[in-house]
Structure 1
Amino acid sequence: MTEVTLRVAMSCGGCSGAVERIIKKMEGVEDYSVSLETQKVVVKGNVDPQKVLEAIAKSGKKTELWQ
């Protein structure tokens, strides 16, 4: 199982909801968490970190791997 942790610029509940909808549509995702307060998104499952990053970035939110 792969765990991908991202920093995503989310400013409201609508932003975090959009990110959640993208994650739910992805294949291989077993679990995820989206924190508006910390701007942190964690996706767990049989996923490619680069594909998770690209899919969430398509929402228009500034997205980067959590350092």
Structure 2
Amino acid sequence: MMFSWSDYLQLTMQTVVLKVAMSCQGCAGAVRRVLSKMEGVETFDIDLKEQKVTVKGNVKPEDVFQTVSKSGKKTSYWEGEATAQAAPAPAAEAAPSTEAEAPAAEAAPESTPAEAAAPEITPVKSDA
């Protein structure tokens, strides 16, 4: 069975979803800067309201995590997607019961209160 180049790319493409503490456009810009320099990244999406960063490319989840952490923002794996969505392995499915459930349990409350956790900041003018 032969694979085309696009088949190969799809096999190696990964989707990594991270929760990144971002409170403003400047924070999102810091994440954007580090991701735009990362080798292997094809696309990325930064959702400031959800504090969610989705990266697609020929990348390793650990490398994406480390790169985004370099922005200085608190970073964790998104609760439903502990690593990547590309290579499902039996060992990876067994791991969430021990390793990934602790972060998932920690992150679980954020599904509803995520909007409440990031209140809008209204600038206050001072006459000084």
Judge same fold: TM > 0.5, yes or no. Answer: yes
In the alignment, the residues of structure 1 paired with residue 67 and residue 40 of structure 2 have an alpha-carbon distance, to the nearest angstrom, of 13
Q: Which one-letter code corresponds to 2:40 in the other structure? A: G
Give 1 or 2: higher helix fraction. Answer: 2
- Structure 2: runs of 5+ lacking an equivalent: 1-12, 80-128
Give the alignment partner of residue 49 of structure 1, picking from 61, 65, 68: 61
Alignment root-mean-square deviation, CA? 0.6
- For the pair shown, which has the larger CA radius of gyration, 1 or 2? 2
Specify the alignment match of 1:29 in structure 2.
Answer: 41
Give 1 or 2: higher strand fraction. Answer: 1
Q: Which one-letter code corresponds to 2:38 in the other structure? A: M
Q: Determine helix, strand or coil for the equivalent of 2:18.
A: strand
TM-score (norm 2): 0.51
Cα offset, 1:12, TM superposition: 0.4
CA distances 1:40-60 after superposition (whole Å, capped 9, x unpaired): 000000001001101111221
Instruction: Indicate the percent of aligned positions where both proteins have the same amino acid.
Output: 57
TM-score (norm 1): 0.96
In the alignment, the residues of structure 2 paired with residue 64 and residue 13 of structure 1 have an alpha-carbon distance, to the nearest angstrom, of 19
Q: Determine helix, strand or coil for the equivalent of 1:52.
A: helix
Specify the alignment match of 2:4 in structure 1.
Answer: none
Q: Which one-letter code corresponds to 1:4 in the other structure? A: V
Segments of 4+ moved more than 4 angstroms? none
Q: Which one-letter code corresponds to 1:10 in the other structure? A: M
Higher relative contact order (CA 8 A, sep 6+): 1
Specify the alignment match of 2:32 in structure 1.
Answer: 20
In the alignment, the residues of structure 2 paired with residue 33 and residue 16 of structure 1 have an alpha-carbon distance, to the nearest angstrom, of 10
- Structure 1: runs of 5+ lacking an equivalent: none
